[in-house]
Structures are given as C-alpha cells and as structure tokens.
Amino acid sequence: MSLWGGRFSKSINQKFKAFNNSLYFDYRLAEQDIISSIAWSRALTTVNVLDFNEQKQIEYELNCLLEKIRINPKIMLSSNNEDIHSWVEDQLIEKLGELAKKLYTGRSRNDQVTTDLRLWCKISIKKLLKSTLELKKILILTAENNQNTIMPGYTHLQRAQPITFAYWCLAYLEMLLRDEERLKNTFKRVDISPLGSGALSGTSYNINRKQLADWLGFKSVSNNGLDSVSDRDYVLELISNASIGMVHLSRFAEDMIFFNSTEVGFIELSDDITSGSSLMPQKKNPDILELIRGKCGQVQGALTGMMMILKGLPLSYNKDMQEDKKFLFNAIDTWHECIDMSILVLHKLIINKARCKEAAKQSYCNSTELADYLVSKGMPFRTAHHVVGKIILKAINTNSALEDLKLSEFKKFSDKITEDVYSILSLQSCINKRNVQGGVSPIQVSKAINEAKKIIVNSLDDF
C-alpha cells in the first residue's frame, strides 16, 4: 500500500507508479534510513508519543532489519514499494502492526530523505578520502623510485625542458592534495542534521534537535526548515568535488596514454590491466586509461544535471529532487572507481628509463640553459634567445644535439661561448640548476617527497 492512499478514490496507474518509484536507485539509503529511524524513535519517547517499551520494540525490529539488509543489501528490490522510506516502513508494520505506524509521527519523508542522504554523503566522503590516500601513497612511492629518471617536460605537447618522472608524479600529488582539502571542506557542510524540519516548517513536536543530531553523529543542526528540506547544495558540492577530481584523473590518464604510445614508449602497462584487439594480434591497449579519461565526461554531466534540477526550483521540496540521487551515486561511484583504477595503473607500472632520457636528450630541452649561459656572460636575455634560436637551427640542420656542436661552431654565433658551455648543457645540469622551492632539482624533489610523506601520515586522523 502507498503511504498516502487515504485521500484517493482511484488506485494508482501502474505506468505512473513505475515512473514515480525511486526504490530501484534509492535502495542504497537503506542503512541510513533505518539508523535515522531509530534516532527518531528515541526522540519520540522524549515527547511521549512512544513509551519506553514501545521504543525498545521498534529499535529492536529496526536493528533486525539492519542485519538483514547488511547480509543482502538488494533484498528490497523485489518489493513493490515506492521508495526506500516506504519499504522500511512496510517492513516494520509487518513486524509490529499499529505500533510501527506511530514512528511516522512528526516526521516527513522530506526531512527524512535529506537526513539519509547527508548520512550517506558523510560515509562516502570518508571512503573517498581513504582511496585518495592510497593513490597518494603510490604516487609518492613511484616518485621516490624515479628521482633520477630524466624525461622531457612538455608545453603544447612539445618537448620543453628536462624534468624527472618523480617531478611529474609530484604534480599529480598536488592535485590530489587539493581534492582532499575540498572533500574535507565539503564534509563540514554535509555534517548538519536537517531532521526535525518536518515537511517544511519544522516538526510540531517539541523534540530536542541537537540531541537527535548527536545520536546520528551530526555536528550541528540546520537553521530553517524551508531551506533544510530543499537544500541540496551539499549534493552539488560533492558532485563538483568529483568533477574536479575526475578532471585531474583524466589528465593523468591522458599523460599516461601518451607516455604509453608506441611513438613515445616511456612506460608500459602491466599485461593484466591491458586488453587486446579481436583482430590485430599485436595490440596491447590502454583501455583502463581511456575509460578513466572517458568517464570524466559522465561526472561533468552529473554536475550539470544536478545544477539543472535545482535551477529555478521553487521552495521547498519538489519531486524533481528525487532525481538527485541518480546523479550523486553515479558521480561518486565513477570517481571512486577511477581512483582505484589509477592505483592499479601505478602499482605495476613499467618505466623505460633509457627511453625517457633519450627523448629528453634529443629535444633541445637544454636550449634555455644555453640562453641563460649567454646571459651569465653579459648578453641581454632577448638577444641570447635569438642567438640560441640560430644555433638550434644549425643543430637541427646538421641533425646534432646542442652539446655535440664543436666549440668553433658555437663561436660563429657568439664569441662569448667558451669551453665551459659543455658542462651546463648536460641534462643533469639543467635539472640541478632549478633549485628554487618547487623546482625540479633532485634536492627539491627529495625534500618534496619527504614533506609529502609527513603530510599524509596523519592526514585522516579526524576522519
């Protein structure tokens, strides 16, 4: 039976019923719905709607139900209920009859659903933080093992200046640290209890909302019922976190796809996470990375979808909002999965150090060094830039690296160039020189790795 059948004289159109139902996706809130119902039953004893004994029975049956759904989280999917709230209610009525119906005093599904969803978001944020930490650990480990792996760094996908593989890893680490920070910030705004807001204007029973929030582990209580039942900013915010996180992972994936290409060949993915072609026997495809890159689009779509649900929506609760969970669950599942897949990619990554170094060598990555060298000999940088450009043209035409040009050839472009030029043209020298904070020098990179290790040790202490 539906929760609201009393005022209707016709039974529900079956097609509309299917259209209206949300159980097939909101069943994932079962645990949260039971837990918030237990807390609500306690609150009802404080206002004498339930006596002590009645509350005990309700709590006992709800706990049994909790056990049941922990064993089989999809048990409710074969039922005919409208949503997870009505399923829990029906289950309880089946056990306790009229007594169970008292639990629905003073509470609306409007405050119930957002309470459940906030509880779900809190758990999800904690899980996401844990997985992000694992990804950070493996990035740090990869950095640690590749402090001497010189490779070209790119701008415009053109080889630009030499960097190390460690430095590249640390760039992604920075992004993950920001993702973590964002999640922790979002958590603060999720951690607020809307329970007791009733349908929209506050429950008429004089319950202590703060105590109720404490029972549910919420830090504080929401202020305004009208806002509380219609606020889904926390959903927007969490999907937005996922969208930014996925942008990072998609860039990680794209870099890796490029590094893994036959033309580049800096890395090789482990056989057990690659797939073959049904036609071309030689193929070993980076599907795992392509999927991470592709799934990013889904999450951006979820953010736009959620924004559009809320845009122009009048206060307070409207059924449009039921759709929020589809976007939220999809975005969070996808992000989480892609974090886990990125861990897998790094876990068994093979790095072709020789090939990385060769690419850095072949690319005139040390041109800036030569210009800086001329600056150190008193030439203005713009002039030096021009002179080095001419030297590079010569080197390209003779198919040689800068460091392979003879001193007499250098002299044709500037008599400021002397024998000491060769020491500054080595890749190692280019790297060593960038010894400012945040630079690529081995000293800075090793410092950054140590810092990162320290930061992550206690990073989840409060979560």
Q: Which residues bind ligand ARG (CB under 6 A)?
A: 22, 26, 83, 109-110, 113, 317, 321-322
Active-site annotation holder among 261, 270, 275, 277: 277
Active-site annotation holder among 9, 11, 156, 278: 156
- Enter the tokens of residue 347: 């876990």
What's the rounded Cα separation, in Å, for the pair 396 and 363?
Answer: 10
> Is 385 a catalytic site residue?
no
Residue 30's alpha-carbon distances to 15, 71, 194, in angstroms, are 25, 12, 18
- Enter the tokens of residue 189: 């705004």
CB of 227 to ligand ARG, least distance (A): 16
Between residues 225 and 286, which has the closer beta carbon with respect to ligand ARG? 225
Distance of CA 37 to the CA centre of its chain: 30
Asked if residues 190 and 121 have their Cβ atoms less than 8 Å apart, the reply is: yes
Between residues 85 and 293, which has the closer beta carbon with respect to ligand ARG? 85
Evaluated on CA atoms 425, 426, 427, 430, the torsion sign reads negative
CB of 445 to ligand ARG, least distance (A): 49
Between residues 225 and 245, which has the closer beta carbon with respect to ligand ARG? 225
CB of 3 to ligand ARG, least distance (A): 9
Between residues 229 and 425, which has the closer beta carbon with respect to ligand ARG? 229
CB of 120 to ligand ARG, least distance (A): 12
Following DSSP, what letter does each residue of 332-373 receive, concatenated? HHHHHHHHHHHHHHHHT-EE-HHHHHHHHHTTTTTHHHHHHH
Of 316, 357, 348, 8, the residue nearest 149 (C-alpha)? 357
Long-range contacts for 310-313 (Cβ within 8 Å, ≥24 apart)?
310/232, 310/236, 313/230
Between residues 317 and 410, which has the closer beta carbon with respect to ligand ARG? 317
CB of 261 to ligand ARG, least distance (A): 45
What's the rounded Cα separation, in Å, for the pair 365 and 430?
Answer: 9
The answer to whether the peptide bond before residue 316 is cis (omega within 30 degrees of 0) is yes
> Is 85 a catalytic site residue?
no
User: What amino acid positions are annotated as catalytic residues?
Assistant: 156, 277
